[in-house]
C-alpha cells in the first residue's frame, strides 16, 4: 500500500539539483513524479526581461538526477509546465513560444497544422532535456475577458477551435515522445477568480457546460489524450458544494462514466489556496482519491507532502474501499508509464533546443 500511495504523489521540490534525500525517496518509491519549476532551473528565476539564460547543462543534469526507478521498476516521471506565453518554465536559450491564443488569427486547417508543428517542436526540446511529461495543452475555452488565470493560455474562444488546435498540439507532443496532459477539467475558461488564490464557482447550466466547456475534453477523451488535470472550481450544476477535484459526481460520474475517460486524472496543485484555505490538505487528498483522481500534485510545501502521505496511509488502513481505489489509481499510473517508456522514440540531440527552425516557427505563430 505504501508503494501504491507513492505512485499517487507528484511533487515539486526546492533547489537546482536533485538532493540525496530526494533521490533516495524516489528510489524508495515514495513519489510517482517530480515537477520542475523555474525555481529549479539555473537562470530560471527571477522572472523578467533581465534574467540570465537558463543553463541547459544544469537542466539536463537535474532531470537525469531525478530519473530514479522505484522498487517496482517504474521510473518517476519528470514533468514541467511548458505551454507557451506566460506559462513556460524553460526560456532562452530554449525556444520561447508565444501564447497559444495566437492561433486565433489562423484559418481552420492552417491552425491545426501549425498547432501540431508547435507541439512537436516544443516536445522535442523537452525530450532532449530529459522531460517526460508536459502539463499541456490547455483545453479551457477563453470566453471570459475578465478571467485572471486562463486568457491567452487558451487555444481559442470557441469549443471547436480549442478542440481542433489543442488536440493537434497533443499529437505533436506524442510524436516527440512527451506525454501530454489536457487541463483544467471540466473547464476553467469562464471564471472570474484565480484558483491559485481563491475558490471559483461556475453557475452555468449543464446544457451550456456540455456545449462549450466540456466539448474539448470529450473530444480529448475520445482521442486518447493520456492525462487530464482537474480544476479547483465548483461547478454548481454538477456538485453544488465541492470543487471538481474532490467531487465524485464530476470525476467519476461525469469524466469516467459519461465521457468514458480511461487515462490518468491528475489533481491540480493541492497547495493552491482554492484547496489549502478551505480544506485540510490531507483530507482534500483523501476526498480527491475517493472522487476518482489518480495522482495528486503537491508542488511546493514539503510539510503538505508529508501530511498527505501520512493521511492517505492512515485513511487506507481504516477503509478497504479507499485502499482499493488507491491500488487502482497506482496501477493505472504504472500502466501508463510502462506503455510510455516502452514506445518512446530515441531521445533527440540537444542541438534541437532553441534551433533556428523552432525559432522561425515561434516567430511565425507570433505573427
- Which residues carry out catalysis? 196, 268
CA pseudo-torsion sign 366, 151, 293, 262: negative
Alpha carbons 145 and 151: distance in angstroms, whole number: 7
DSSP 197: T
CA pseudo-torsion sign 102, 107, 108, 113: negative
Q: Which helix (H) or strand (E) holds 358?
A: helix 356-366
Report helix, strand or coil for 323.
helix
140-176: buried (b, 16+ CB within 10 Å) or exposed (e) per residue?
A: bbbbbeebebbbbbbbbebbebbbbbbbbbbbbbbeb
Return the closest-CA partner of residue 118 out of 169, 152, 84: 169
Whether 216 contacts 183, CB under 8 Å: no
What is the bridge-based pairing of β-strands 87-88 and 82-84? antiparallel
Residue showing cell 484565480: 194
Alpha carbons 365 and 111: distance in angstroms, whole number: 9
Report helix, strand or coil for 184.
strand
Whether 7 contacts 334, CB under 8 Å: yes
Alpha carbons 221 and 263: distance in angstroms, whole number: 8
Residue showing cell 533546443: 353
Alpha carbons 99 and 112: distance in angstroms, whole number: 15
Give the 3-state secondary structure percentages of the chain, helix then strand then coil, rounded to 5: 45, 10, 40
Amino acid at each position: 500500500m505504501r508503494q501504491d500511495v507513492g505512485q499517487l504523489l507528484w511533487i515539486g521540490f526546492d533547489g537546482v539539483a536533485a538532493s540525496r534525500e530526494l533521490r533516495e525517496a524516489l528510489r524508495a518509491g515514495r513519489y510517482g513524479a517530480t515537477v520542475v519549476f523555474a525555481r529549479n532551473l539555473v537562470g530560471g528565476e527571477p522572472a523578467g526581461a533581465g534574467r540570465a539564460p537558463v543553463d541547459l547543462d544544469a537542466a539536463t543534469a537535474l532531470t537525469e538526477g531525478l530519473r530514479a526507478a522505484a522498487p517496482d521498476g517504474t521510473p518517476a516521471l519528470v514533468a514541467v509546465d511548458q505551454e507557451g506565453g506566460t506559462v513556460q518554465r524553460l526560456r532562452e536559450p530554449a525556444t520561447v513560444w508565444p501564447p497559444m491564443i495566437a492561433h486565433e488569427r489562423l484559418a481552420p486547417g492552417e491552425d491545426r497544422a501549425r498547432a501540431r508543428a508547435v507541439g512537436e517542436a516544443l516536445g522535442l526540446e523537452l525530450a532532449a532535456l530529459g522531460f517526460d511529461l508536459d502539463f499541456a495543452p490547455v483545453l479551457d475555452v477563453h470566453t471570459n475577458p475578465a478571467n485572471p488565470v486562463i486568457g491567452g493560455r487558451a487555444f481559442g474562444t470557441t469549443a471547436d477551435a480549442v478542440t481542433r488546435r489543442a488536440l493537434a498540439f497533443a499529437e505533436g507532443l506524442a510524436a516527440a515522445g512527451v506525454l501530454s496532459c489536457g487541463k483544467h477539467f471540466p473547464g476553467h475558461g469562464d471564471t472570474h477568480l484565480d484558483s491559485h488564490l481563491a475558490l471559483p464557482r461556475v453557475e452555468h447550466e449543464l446544457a451550456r457546460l456540455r456545449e462549450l466547456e466540456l466539448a474539448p475534453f470529450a473530444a480529448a477523451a475520445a482521442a486518447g489524450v493520456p492525462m487530464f488535470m482537474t480544476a479547483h472550481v465548483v461547478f454548481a450544476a454538477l456538485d453544488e458544494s465541492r470543487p471538481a477535484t474532490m467531487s465524485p459526481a464530476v470525476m467519476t460520474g461525469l469524466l469516467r462514466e459519461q465521457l468514458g475517460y480511461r487515462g490518468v486524472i491528475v489533481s491540480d496543485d493541492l497547495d493552491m489556496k482554492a484547496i489549502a484555505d478551505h480544506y485540510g490538505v490531507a483530507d482534500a487528498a483523501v476526498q480527491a482519491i475517493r472522487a476518482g483522481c489518480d495522482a495528486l500534485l503537491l508542488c511546493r510545501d514539503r510539510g503538505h507532502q508529508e501530511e498527505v502521505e501520512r493521511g492517505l496511509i492512515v485513511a487506507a488502513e481504516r477503509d478497504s474501499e479507499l485502499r482499493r481505489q488507491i491500488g487502482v489509481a497506482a496501477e493505472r499510473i504504472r500502466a501508463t508509464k510502462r506503455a510510455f517508456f516502452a514506445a518512446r522514440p530515441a531521445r533527440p540531440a540537444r542541438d534541437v533546443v532553441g534551433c533556428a527552425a523552432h525559432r522561425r516557427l515561434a516567430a511565425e505563430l507570433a505573427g
